[in-house]
Chains A and B, each alone.
Chain A
């Protein structure tokens, strides 16, 4: 019975012009989105590979120079573009693409793509995630808003009831009727995406697991929306009212809540301004050892400690160059300052994330939004992960260079130049994105919230359809 009704709903939808037009439009948009996204992804990946290679070449082709000068000269770490950004580019547009790695300074990633676009960039892009997150729920609403109201308006409910079907079964059948086309569209999209992704070089085997998870997340999202749609349709007296109410819910869940929670997060846990953040770091840096300043109190203390430690009377008696050693010590102090301030920043980010998670109670969109980009490795956590890896690399790079200076020259010998082979021997920056386990570990709250939405919306549907049945009976008895 359920299957028959589901098929009937599906066929009825197919015959209705409105549905066909919507499905065609959504499909065209999706194909456009995937195509644009694929072109963008491949061109950016190419640029990234070229830039990475160039940066390394520039680094390796440095002349003989003081290793600390090379540390100032620095190099660049480029953020890789992940294959799954084909489906969900996440916050990529709003986070920088590369980090300059130099002595004494932890730099922020620079050149966010959004600052190279007009103000329209803020309306969003026509990417697959945009269609899947915003437009397909609308398609669901348009297909299902009159699922129950229609039966009353057309007087077919009595007919249906005479067949002896319970409201819950009817709801399930209708649910399946709406879910089927959505399932087909989503499956086709993911199949196309995986075919395209297989043509991209770094697409590993594991990524199919991630892809399937992403697929599942979206299906759960659609299931929740179908539940909501059917619930509203069951309690509405007219199709028009049902549609307008559903639209209001969509607006709140997909547009208003994300924005409102952003404002809330920013008010409760504000980020410092870039200038203030830099000024605070500067202040802390000045309080400690500056590798370039042998006259400060901190430098004098360090000098005394070193002399005592090695049991010599003057710096020139040391078996290494104290200048280089002090540079490294200064670097370590600065690294600690950065670590402290970035830890605070990260803490603010975590607190902000908590506000988003709390807001997810009013919007199933939010956990899906976060899970989708987390799986695609295009979320803010992935950016942090990259920035932290770049910082670790920077510290080890500068350490190698300073220590080379300290070991191979004597005190006061600023003219020391390292051999060109040193630049080649320093390992290149390699970055592996976080593993699936890490991602799930970081996002279990979102998984939990999404699961709750899934269960609660099914429960809600069951309760409301039972009430619908009672009302119908009441209606019939009158």
Chain B
């Protein structure tokens, strides 16, 4: 028996090479993976250089600040207006800002995810509220609509189609060419024989894919051995997804229809699972948990603001409220306390309104998380974004970290401002710095992997059952 299966494999391998299938596969997969990885790399490099130049700008500004502080402390007059003087703690807290950056994950190349929508660094100041920071990136919306040609696209959208092209006639062709009759005369069941053929092709494609992914990703500077757990998750998810489409293709072949009909069926499944289900799920999430109108929010914010400002004392009225940086040299510390009291009041009144958005979005996400099992494409997308650190959750988490940091930054200067103290050169190194803490757990990925393999097993079982029922039909149809 063992000998027989090796014959089948050899015959299969040779025929694949002769038909130039193997060459074609290697060529097209290399081209697709390479192009996708280069695109991903370009995006990641851009992100890194954006952050780096922001940090350089901060360092440059800091060094000017140190020079100014030096001169001021040495008693020289400096040619700078008072509201740019770094010895004022409010000036430091307003203009000498830190970069709160979200550097890319090592695996960020894999999936663009939400990284083209959101910005990767902000510089919170002590006056602004973190909810006022704009986290959306400046981009051409056409690009956001079309999306990026990244590895995630190649693996989720294109790989199944390559599998379909590779397997739609795996059995039907043999029947159409009359080979199946010959096979049937041998002591091997059609199901087993199909399995051999499909397994051979699956292993071949998997092998090519894994080698290519390793080679091209390392070429792009991503080390797949550094975080081995993450890399294995990525590889297993991909192979699981690949297996799913192979098993589905075999199942469709077992139905015993013509090659063209098989292709139609497989394409129909692809459209359903990759195009229709995800967009329907998204639409349903939006209808089930609609996020309140942002247009309404704008006006609510204004009403709350106006209300809070009414409550504040008249001290900081008018001009000063618009230009708090001028308050330092006009009024004393009482004005500052008023100002921050107003800010806190506004914040506490606005928070519930803002929370409503977060809650709805979270409800959407939870619902999507629950229903994601209905399409392997959804499983893969959520896992890839998770592995790449580009999921919606990562950006929410980042926003939360920034808003915590904004408070730390503000609280660093408040006591000094209230006590009327000066900022000195010695205080420079003690300024709070933002350090992004990536979430440690990869949510859902283990469950997603498991689900993929359960699908494959279930489909395999259906196939085994069918073939035991329809052995004769396969030959005659």
A383 to B139, alpha carbons, bound, how many Å? 13
Q: Pick from A241-249, A424-432, A434-442 the stretch touching chain B.
A: A241-249
Look across to chain A and name the residue whose beta carbon is closest to the beta carbon of B259. A240
Look across to chain B and name the residue whose beta carbon is closest to the beta carbon of A21. B268
Check A55–B298 contact: CB distance below 8 A. Answer: yes
A123 to B382, alpha carbons, bound, how many Å? 12
Check B392–A118 contact: CB distance below 8 A. Answer: yes
Check B143–A262 contact: CB distance below 8 A. Answer: yes
A78 contact set on B, CB distance < 8 A: 295
Q: Pick from B86-94, B160-168, B186-194, B463-471 the stretch touching chain A.
A: B160-168
Asked whether any CB of chain A lies closer than 8 Å to the CB of B158, the reply is yes
Check B140–A274 contact: CB distance below 8 A. Answer: no
From B118, B139, B172, B298, residue with most partner A Cβ within 10 Å: B298
Partner of B282, one of A65, A125, A239, A243: A125
Look across to chain B and name the residue whose beta carbon is closest to the beta carbon of A91. B141
Q: Mark B123-152, 1 if CB is under 8 A from A, else 0.
A: 100000000001111111111111111000
B302 contact set on A, CB distance < 8 A: 55, 58
A274 to B291, alpha carbons, bound, how many Å? 25
A379 to B113, alpha carbons, bound, how many Å? 23
A395 to B449, alpha carbons, bound, how many Å? 56
B147 contact set on A, CB distance < 8 A: 122, 259, 262
Check A273–B50 contact: CB distance below 8 A. Answer: yes
Check A118–B267 contact: CB distance below 8 A. Answer: no
Partner of B385, one of A36, A119, A135, A296: A119
Check B143–A273 contact: CB distance below 8 A. Answer: no
Q: Mark A54-69, 1 if CB is under 8 A from B, else 0.
A: 1100100000011011
Q: Mark B371-415, 1 if CB is under 8 A from A, else 0.
A: 000000010011001000001100000000000000000000000
A44 contact set on B, CB distance < 8 A: 293
Check B164–A244 contact: CB distance below 8 A. Answer: yes
Partner of A240, one of B263, B276, B280: B263
* Chain B nearest Cβ from A324, distance in angstroms: 13
Look across to chain B and name the residue whose beta carbon is closest to the beta carbon of A238. B259
Look across to chain A and name the residue whose beta carbon is closest to the beta carbon of B99. A275
* Chain B nearest Cβ from A250, distance in angstroms: 9
B286 contact set on A, CB distance < 8 A: 117
Q: Chain A interface mostly helix, strand, loop or mixed? A: helix
Look across to chain B and name the residue whose beta carbon is closest to the beta carbon of A71. B322
* Chain B nearest Cβ from A378, distance in angstroms: 10
Asked whether any CB of chain A lies closer than 8 Å to the CB of B260, the reply is yes
Q: Mark B201-215, 1 if CB is under 8 A from A, else 0.
A: 000000000000000
Asked whether any CB of chain A lies closer than 8 Å to the CB of B299, the reply is yes
Check B168–A97 contact: CB distance below 8 A. Answer: no
Check B139–A91 contact: CB distance below 8 A. Answer: no
Asked whether any CB of chain A lies closer than 8 Å to the CB of B196, the reply is no
Asked whether any CB of chain A lies closer than 8 Å to the CB of B419, the reply is no
B157 contact set on A, CB distance < 8 A: 251, 255
Given contacts A111-B294, A116-B291, contact A130 B260 (CB under 8 A): no
Asked whether any CB of chain B lies closer than 8 Å to the CB of A402, the reply is no
Check B275–A120 contact: CB distance below 8 A. Answer: no
B: residues with CB less than 8 A from A are 35, 39, 42-43, 46, 50, 53-54, 57, 81, 113-114, 117-123, 134-149, 153, 157-158, 161, 164-165, 168-169, 172-173, 258-264, 267, 271, 275-276, 278-283, 285-287, 291, 293-299, 302-303, 306, 318-319, 322-323, 326, 357, 361, 364-365, 368, 378, 381-382, 385, 391-392
A-B pairs, top 4 by smallest CB distance, nearest first, are A51-B295, A94-B141, A123-B278, A240-B259
